[in-house]
Amino acid sequence: MLDILHGASREHGARRTEFFLVMRYQHSYWWATINAAREDVPSSSTEMGIWRLRT
């Protein structure tokens, strides 16, 4: 089961919004970032990264 422990977002300039998540999955902790493209900016793109945190 995936548990989202914390989430936040912020505007990152006029082109995208950043989301940050800390999650727990199968006794491990994970950190994810999502740079979401804005629909009204045609040239922007969405990027995602996920990393396992050492515990």
Query: Residue 55 and residue 8: Cα distance in Å, rounded?
Result: 22
Of 31, 21, 26, 22, nearest to 1 by C-alpha is: 26
Query: What is the model's pLDDT at position 15?
Result: 66
User: pLDDT tens digits for 2-53?
Assistant: 888 888 888 766 667 888 999 998 889 999 998 887 777 777 778 889 999 9
How many CB atoms are located within 10 Å of the residue 26 CB? 7
Q: Please state, in angstroms and as integers, the Cα–Cα distance from residue 35 to each residue in 2, 4, 18, 26, 55, following that order.
A: 21, 18, 5, 25, 26
Whole-model pTM: value is 0.63
